[in-house]
Structure 1
Amino acid sequence: MDKNLKLGALSILMAGSLWGFLGLTCKTLTSYGLTSFDVSFFRIFVGALFLLLYMVIKDIKLLRIDRKGLIFTAIAGLVSQSLANGFYFASIERTSITTAVILLYTAPIFTNIISKFIYQEVFTKLKVVAVILCFSGVFLTATGGDLNTLKLNFLGLLIGLASGLTFGLMPILNKFILEKYNPWTILFYSFLWGSFFILLLARPLKIFSLNLDFKFWFALVFLGLVLAVIGYGLYLKGLKFGVEPSKATIISTVEIVVSVIVAYFVFKESINIYNILGILMVAASVILIQERKIIGDKQKVLAK
C-alpha cells in the first residue's frame, strides 16, 4: 500500500474514532432538554459556522462554488446528513438503539454493491470476507450476544436499512465531487444544506429558554468543531487520498468499537466476551480490507 493510501486509511480511522464519542456528547446535550434532531442540527450548523470562520481567515476564495457544486452538495447534505440522521433516529423510535445501530452498519454492504457499478471497484473474495466479518463484529459488539436486545418490526426494519443505505452513500457522493472541489468547500456547503433540511424536524431556538452552563457550551463546541468539522474533514481527506468508498465505510466502523469502550469507562456499562469478540472482529475487518493480497486471491472477482 502506498503512502497516500496509508495516510488515507489512517485519516478515516481517526474520523471513526472521533465519532465514537458522539453518543457521550449527544447524551450530555439531550440531558438539557434537546431532542436527537436538535443535536443533529447543531452538529452540522455549528460545524458550518466554524468552517466559515476558517475559510474566511485562510482563503475566502474557498467559498466560491458553481451551480453544479451547489446541486451536488445539496444532494450530499440531504442524503448523508438529513436523511441518514432522520432515518437513524426514526429507526431508534420504532425498534431499539441496538437494533438501529446494527441496521445503520449495513452501510458497508450497500457501499460495496453501489461502488461496483459507479466506480467499477473490484468485488473480491477479500472484500466479501471483510464485510461479513465487519457486520458480524458490529452485531456482537452492539448486542453483547444477547438477542433480547433486538426489537424488529417491518417498518422499523425498512427505516433502519434506509439509514444504512443513506449512510453508505456518503463516501460515494463525496468521492464523486472531491474530484473537482476543495474538501472544505464541499463540507461547508453540505453542512449548510444539511442543517437547512434537518431544520424541518429540529427546534433549535429552544436553547434560549433553557438554563445552560459551561458544560453545555463545551459539549456543543466539541460537537460542531471536533465531531463535525474535524471528523468529516479527516473522512474526506481519506477519500481524497484514494481510499475506495467501499473500504472507507468498513474502516469507519471503528466508531462502534470506540463508543462501546467510552460507554464502559464513562457510563460503567458492562462488557462481556461477546462484546470483546465483536470488537476484535471489527478490528480484523479494518486490517483485512487494507491487505494487498491474501493467498493470491486479491484479484479474483466474485461477479461481473
Structure 2
Amino acid sequence: MTIEMASASTAFIALAAPCWGLSGGIGGILMAGGWDAFVVSFYRGAIGLLFVLVWLLLRPRGSGLANRRLWFWSAIAGIGVAGNFAFYFVSIAQGSLAVAVTLMYCAPVFVYLVSFALKLERPTALKWVAIAVVMVGIVLLTQIYDIGASGVTPIGVGAGLLSGLSYAIFIFGFKYAAPHGSPQAILSIAFVVLAMILVRSGDADQTVAALSTPDRPLFAAIGVLGAGLSFVLYVIGLNHTAPAVAAIVAMVEPVTASLFGVVVLNEKLVGPQIVGMGLVLVTVTAMSVYSRSGRPPAEFSKG
C-alpha cells in the first residue's frame, strides 16, 4: 500500500466523521422545528439507501446477495442501525446534542461486553478499568448525581445509551455478514430493513408532509451527510487505513457535533460535563485502538 493511498483513505474517514457530527446538529434543528425523531431518522436512512444502492449497481461483483447468511446478518445490522438512528435523535430531542453523541460513542464498550459474554474477547483487568472509567465519564457527563441538572433527562440518557447499544448490534451484524458479501450489499439490505422499521414507527402524516416541506433541504442534507456519502466514504477509507488510525480520526464526529450544539443550538456544558466527555472519548478511542481483533467491522463503530 502506497503512502498516497493510505493518506487518501484516511482523508475519506476524516471527511465521513464530521458528516456524522453535522447530521446530528441538523437533526436537532429539524426536531426543534417540530419534526418527529423517527421521521428524521427515516429520511436519514432512506436517502442513505439510495446512495448505497447506486454503489451496489456500480460495483455488483461479489455482492453475495444469493447467500442466506448475508441476508440474515445484514438484517440484524439493519435492526441495529435503525435503533441507533432513532434513539440518537430521541436523545438529542430529550437532552442535548453533546450528551447524545458522547453516549452513542460508548458503542465500543457494549461491543466489549457482548464479546466477553460470547467469549469472543478475553476480559482483562485493563479492559475492565477502561469500562469503569467510561462509566465515571458518563456519570459526570449526564450529571445523574444532580437531580436539578438542566438539559439532561432520564429519557435522553437512556436513549443515548440505547443508541450506543444499537450501534453495537450493527457492528456485530456487519462483522458476521462481511465474509459473505460486499459492504455495499450489506448496507443496502441493512438500510432497507431500517426504512421498513422506521416508516412504521414514525408519524405517518409527517412522513408524507416532509416531501413537500420547506425543510426539504435539511432532510436531504441529513440523509446525504448522515448516511449516504458518509457511510460510503468510511467503508472505502477503512480498506486502506489501520484500525487504530481510523478510531482516532473518527473522534472528529463527537467533537464536531458538540461544537455544533454549543455554537448553533446554544447548548451549554459545565465543567464536570466537559471532563466526563473527555474521559469517555479518550477511553473509548484507546479501547478501539488497542482492541485485540483490529478487524475493520469492529472499527465500524466510529471509534
Query: Same fold judged by TM-score > 0.5?
Result: yes
**Is the alpha carbon distance of 1:26 and 1:162 closer, same or farther for their aligned partners in structure 2, counting shifts above 3 Å?**
closer
1:277 aligns with 2:256: no
- Contact 2:16/2:231 (8 A) holds in 1: yes
- Contact 2:73/2:177 (8 A) holds in 1: yes
Structure 2: which amino acid aligns with 1:224?
G
Which residue in 1 is equivalent to 2:73?
A: 72
Matches of residues 11-50 of structure 1 in structure 2 within 5 Å?
15-30=16-31, 33-50=34-51
**Structure 1 residue ranges without an equivalent (≥5):** 294-304
Which residue in 1 is equivalent to 2:56?
A: 55
Which residue in 1 is equivalent to 2:209?
A: 206
**Structure 2 residue ranges without an equivalent (≥5):** 293-303
- Contact 1:145/1:274 (8 A) holds in 2: no
Matches of residues 23-172 of structure 1 in structure 2 within 5 Å?
23-30=24-31, 33-56=34-57, 58-61=58-61, 65-66=65-66, 67-78=68-79, 80-87=80-87, 96=95, 107-118=107-118, 120-143=120-143, 147=147, 148-149=149-150, 150-152=152-154, 162-172=162-172
Structure 1 residue 42: Cα displacement: 0.4
CA–CA distance in structure 2, aligned partners of residues 9 and 142 of structure 1: 32
Which residue in 1 is equivalent to 2:286?
A: 288
- Contact 1:130/1:285 (8 A) holds in 2: yes
1:261 aligns with 2:259: yes
CA-to-aligned-CA distance 1:136-189 (integer Å, 9 cap, x gap): 334434549855245448xx9877765443232221221111122211211122
**Is the alpha carbon distance of 1:84 and 1:121 closer, same or farther for their aligned partners in structure 2, counting shifts above 3 Å?**
same
CA–CA distance in structure 1, aligned partners of residues 15 and 137 of structure 2: 19
- Please give the TM-score of this superposition, normalised by the length of structure 1: 0.70
Structure 1 residue 217: Cα displacement: 3.7
- Contact 1:15/1:235 (8 A) holds in 2: yes
- Contact 1:76/1:190 (8 A) holds in 2: yes
**Is the alpha carbon distance of 1:238 and 1:121 closer, same or farther for their aligned partners in structure 2, counting shifts above 3 Å?**
farther
- Contact 1:101/1:142 (8 A) holds in 2: no
Structure 1 residue 28: Cα displacement: 2.9
Which residue in 2 is equivalent to 1:222?
A: 221
**Is the alpha carbon distance of 1:208 and 1:62 closer, same or farther for their aligned partners in structure 2, counting shifts above 3 Å?**
same
**Is the alpha carbon distance of 1:10 and 1:53 closer, same or farther for their aligned partners in structure 2, counting shifts above 3 Å?**
closer
CA-to-aligned-CA distance 1:63-111 (integer Å, 9 cap, x gap): 6612332222222212x12334445566778x75588777656543321
CA–CA distance in structure 1, aligned partners of residues 290 and 44 of structure 2: 34
Which residue in 1 is equivalent to 2:300?
A: none
Aligned length: 280
Which residue in 2 is equivalent to 1:299?
A: none
Structure 2: which amino acid aligns with 1:76?
A
State the secondary structure of the residue aligned to 1:21: helix
- Contact 1:108/1:131 (8 A) holds in 2: no
- Considering only aligned residues, what root-mean-square deviation do their CA atoms show, in Å? 4.3
Which residue in 2 is equivalent to 1:182?
A: 182
Structure 2: which amino acid aligns with 1:259?
A
